[in-house]
Amino acid sequence: MTHTVPLTEKAARAPKAELHIHIEGSLEPELIFKLAQRNNMKLAYDSIESLRDAYAFTDLQSFLDIYYAGASVLLTEADFYDMTMAYCERALADNVVHAEIFFDPQTHTERGVAIETVVAGIDRALADTEKRGLTSKLILCFLRHLSEADALATFDAALPLFERYPRLIGVGLDSSERGHPPSKFERVFERARAIGLKLVAHAGEEGPPSYIYEALDLLKVDRVDHGVRSIEDAALVTRLADTRVALTVCPLSNIKLCVFDDMTRHTLKDLLDHGVAVTVNSDDPAYFGGYVNDNYTATIDALKLDDAEVHTILRNSFEASFVTPQERDAMIAKLDAYWNGTAA
């Protein structure tokens, strides 16, 4: 007799990769308060509840204002370690076996925290978690609302770290999208490409399809973060499908930031139907109401995804990752064995 489980449960238990998670966006209100106390800092909110109550966003910028305020409690190596370890615990609970994690050094260097402190704390937690079955990579993101010169200076400051930390394998582009097109960062991405780094950029979250074209043609990214507005341009959808440049989609984020009115309106399934390599990720789980499995559950329920579609999304998470071909094949073999041995 075959024991059947609901598809959401089957997906929750499946091994998976998470490819779009901002480590500062995993900072839960409880930890914000704990770190503020440890660092003798006063917050603008007098309780955990009042901070959480402020998490009602109308667009990307309204979120970013609170997100940067939350990150201001991070000062020491131990702070970055504790934040990262808390994310790793949640990722392990969701059967994430591989995570590619973004961090925003300028958010911290602007406040006088050394970039080495940031990377050392994050990397030490990731190294400690590797033994427990979660492998990882780190991606340094430039804040696009700041200048090109600031991004170039950040890249120069990070150069020794790319040598010292093998986990640090790429650069990305995040923060306020509208008015800050990828073209603004063509030169810094060119420099990153010249030293062999992997390249990603947020594009087509709030910004138009033209920003996705710029990310592909000018920055030459390996993946597009979000990219959900590609659906507005049929030629772009075909190009994404043909080239298998993956989209790291973050469904709960898109709802919380009002990119779509509700989850039944999300374009993830349309993109999947057109053959685009979509993945499911949490973005800023502490702010958007859920970690990666919550994103799978909400998407499966609202878009009525079937067994084969969920399997495809899970496979895409490994195919789009920056691990070696051998590591990728081993992860996919484990996923397939699990998937085929479990009836939904």
Q: Binding site for substrate: which residues?
A: 284
User: Which range of residues in 140-148, 162-170, 278-286, 332-340 is near Zn ion by CB under 5 A?
Assistant: 278-286
| Residues 6 or more apart whose Cβ sits within 8 Å of residue 85 | 125, 128, 129
Q: Binding site: which residues?
A: 20, 22, 202, 283-284
- Which are the catalytic amino acids? 205
Percentages of the chain per state (helix, strand, coil), in multiples of 5: 55, 15, 30
Question: Could you say which residues in the range 103-142 bind ligand ADE, by CB under 6 A?
Answer: none
DSSP at 3: P
Tell me whether residue 32 or residue 310 sits nearer to ligand ADE (CB atom): 32
253 binds ligand ADE (CB under 6 A): yes
Select the residue interacting with ligand ADE from 284, 310, 318, 335 (CB under 6 A): 284
CA angle 37, 39, 40 (to 5 degrees): 65
CB 169 within 8 A of CB 138: yes
Cα separation, 66 vs 77, in Å, equals 22
**Window 204-243: contact mask with Zn ion (x via CB under 5 A):** ----------------------------------------
Nearest to 141 by CA among 73, 216, 223: 223
Question: Can you read off the two tokens belonging to residue 194?
Answer: 């010249």
Tell me whether residue 8 or residue 282 sits nearer to Zn ion (CB atom): 282
Cα separation, 248 vs 320, in Å, equals 9
279 binds ligand ADE (CB under 6 A): no
283 binds Zn ion (CB under 5 A): yes
CB 133 within 8 A of CB 99: no
Select the residue interacting with ligand ADE from 14, 21, 25, 29 (CB under 6 A): 25
Cα separation, 143 vs 186, in Å, equals 14
Select the residue interacting with ligand ADE from 10, 11, 19, 22 (CB under 6 A): 22
Question: Can you read off the two tokens belonging to residue 100?
Answer: 């590619």
User: Which range of residues in 52-60, 112-120, 158-166, 277-285 is near Zn ion by CB under 5 A?
Assistant: 277-285
Tell me whether residue 104 or residue 283 sits nearer to Zn ion (CB atom): 283
The residues binding ligand ADE (CB under 6 A) are: 22, 25, 60, 67, 174-175, 202, 205, 253, 283-284
